[in-house]
Chains A and B, each alone.
Chain A
Amino acid sequence: MNESKETPGLFAAAGAILRKDLRLELRTMETLTTAAIFTVATFVVFHFAFDRYEMSGDIAAGVFWVTVLFAAVLAINRLLSNERAQGGYEALLLAPIDRNAILFAKFAFLFVTLTLLEIFALLAFALLLLGPALSTEMLPLAPVLLLANIGIAAIGTLISALATDTNARELLVPLMSLPLLTPLLIGAARASTPLMSLVPHTEHLDRWLGLMALYDSVFALLAFAVFEYVIED
């Protein structure tokens, strides 16, 4: 990767930033623990709001994905704010690296965080609220989660970079994220509905996966195209 000794290549730089972020997260567990506690608290709230001991089908898929979406908004909020607070952001901008390395690293970090969070959330949901027991019939949830995470990570990185320059970050991140993530929520919730029904099955899975894949590719390309303009100093 290293073509010259002075400037690391794109992926080497992205890898270094990602390793730094992951190490920081492993030591502090700031984003993951808060988001995990948030998901359990949200499940408790949904239990009382609907007065249900268990859920299945569309209600289960809706509750699960709304919870994940809100937890993701929390993670997006934190993505660049820590860099900003500690002055790391300026250091990243000063570093002689391709700016897209920051995009790739933050995208990958958000993707890993979301994946770990969703595994935890799914287990907690199965334990607390989900009607049908977790089984191999629910394995098609894996590509749904994967495609949702790619989209949320791409959009989240962009939004976090956009919001970090503003003086109303905590307010703007959810306002910008929720409409932008709605098509992904549609795909994910609709694909999960039959998988979370009492007899898990797949129905129109390819249609929803196709929609999410299209959405992901458009926004991944878009993030790549415009990211340098957002973080230009």
Chain B
Amino acid sequence: MTQSRFFSSRSATRSSADSFSRGLVGYAFAAAATLTLAGLLVFFWAPQDADQGMRQKIFYLHVPLSIAALCGFIAGGVMAIQYLRTRDSSWDLRSYVAIHLSLIFGVAALITGAIWAKTAWGVWWEWKEPTLVSFLIVFLLYAVYQPMRFAIDDPERQARSAAVYAIICGAFVPLNFMAVRLATSLVHPRVLGGAGEMPAEMRVSFYTSLIGMGLLWMALWKFELTAKSVSMRLGKLRAELIS
């Protein structure tokens, strides 16, 4: 198994695989139920946007995706701190999977963002929207996480450098948002206004999809962790069998 080359084999125990998979099915069902409910609310209950109509519905997908990705990035940084403190390689695996998964969410957020920008403003990209620009910079930074990680041969050193990088990036996220917000002309109207400006039906639908997206992130995170640790354990057992 290729994974076993990258992560210290200490995390490849039966107990870690079990602890990773705990609650996986629950999260998966909760995510499916909440997202289904959110879909129903978004299309049949939330009012149509006065300007954008049906096209505004992508907001309920795009914003939760971005928030889940950003929270996942930050969570990856916190798990990296935990790794440096405990040197337990399962935390390294958690941090890696969190950042990996958030990158995938990030790609989806950028694509849905571009589609929304095209339908709402007629352009695929809008530099005047600081949230979008900040998100791109953060995404570019995290996109280097994997190339950096896998350019290191020694698994211990790989885990340590990746943890330090994850912590640096985690601290970068809020500062970057602040800097880009300052740099964007304050005259430009904020498109993604606070949730308080939305009618109650929109707000409830939005929070439902946000919770659903968070649950989906958790379910996928647990799934990937379980899959990785099981395949590592399999590799280890296979190696034992051969030797």
**Chain A 167-187: CB-based contact to B (< 8 A → 1; otherwise 0):** 110011001101110110011
- A26 on the interface (CB 8 Å rule)? no
- A10 on the interface (CB 8 Å rule)? no
Name the prevailing secondary structure of the A interface residues.
helix
What's the interface size class on B, roughly? Answer: 20 to 34
What's the interface size class on A, roughly? Answer: 20 to 34
Stretch at the interface among A71-79, A111-119, A222-230: A222-230
- A133 on the interface (CB 8 Å rule)? no
- B163 on the interface (CB 8 Å rule)? yes
Could you tell me the distance in whole angstroms from the C-beta of A135 to the nearest C-beta in chain B? 27
Could you tell me the distance in whole angstroms from the C-beta of B129 to the nearest C-beta in chain A? 16
- B193 on the interface (CB 8 Å rule)? no
In angstroms, Cα B168 to Cα A93, docked, is 23
Whether the Cβ atoms of A186 and B144 lie closer than 8 Å is no
- A218 on the interface (CB 8 Å rule)? yes
Q: Chain B residues near A167 (CB, 8 Å)?
A: 151-153
Whether the Cβ atoms of B179 and A186 lie closer than 8 Å is yes
Contact of B168 among A158, A165, A187 (CB under 8 A): A158
Q: Chain A residues near B167 (CB, 8 Å)?
A: 222, 226
Contact of A172 among B144, B157, B182 (CB under 8 A): B144
Closest to A178 in B: B140
Which one of B153, B157, B168, B175 has the highest number of Cβ atoms from chain A below 10 Å of its Cβ? B168
Whether the Cβ atoms of A183 and B164 lie closer than 8 Å is no
Whether the Cβ atoms of B172 and A180 lie closer than 8 Å is yes
- A166 on the interface (CB 8 Å rule)? yes
- B9 on the interface (CB 8 Å rule)? no
A-contacting residues, B48-74, CB 8 Å: none
If the complex has contacts A218-B175, A222-B171, are A179 and B151 also in contact, measured as CB distance less than 8 A? no
Could you tell me the distance in whole angstroms from the C-beta of B199 to the nearest C-beta in chain A? 35
Contact of A176 among B138, B144, B153 (CB under 8 A): B144
In angstroms, Cα B227 to Cα A199, docked, is 63
Whether the Cβ atoms of A180 and B163 lie closer than 8 Å is no
- B78 on the interface (CB 8 Å rule)? no
Q: Chain B residues near A215 (CB, 8 Å)?
A: 175, 179
In angstroms, Cα B141 to Cα A176, docked, is 6
Whether the Cβ atoms of A179 and B140 lie closer than 8 Å is yes
In angstroms, Cα B154 to Cα A165, docked, is 9
- A211 on the interface (CB 8 Å rule)? yes
A-contacting residues, B112-144, CB 8 Å: 137-138, 140-141, 144
Could you tell me the distance in whole angstroms from the C-beta of A103 to the nearest C-beta in chain B? 12
Q: Chain A residues near B154 (CB, 8 Å)?
A: 165
* 12 A/B residue pairs, CB under 8 Å, sorted by A: A158-B168, A162-B148, A162-B165, A165-B154, A166-B148, A168-B147, A175-B144, A179-B140, A183-B172, A211-B178, A229-B160, A230-B160
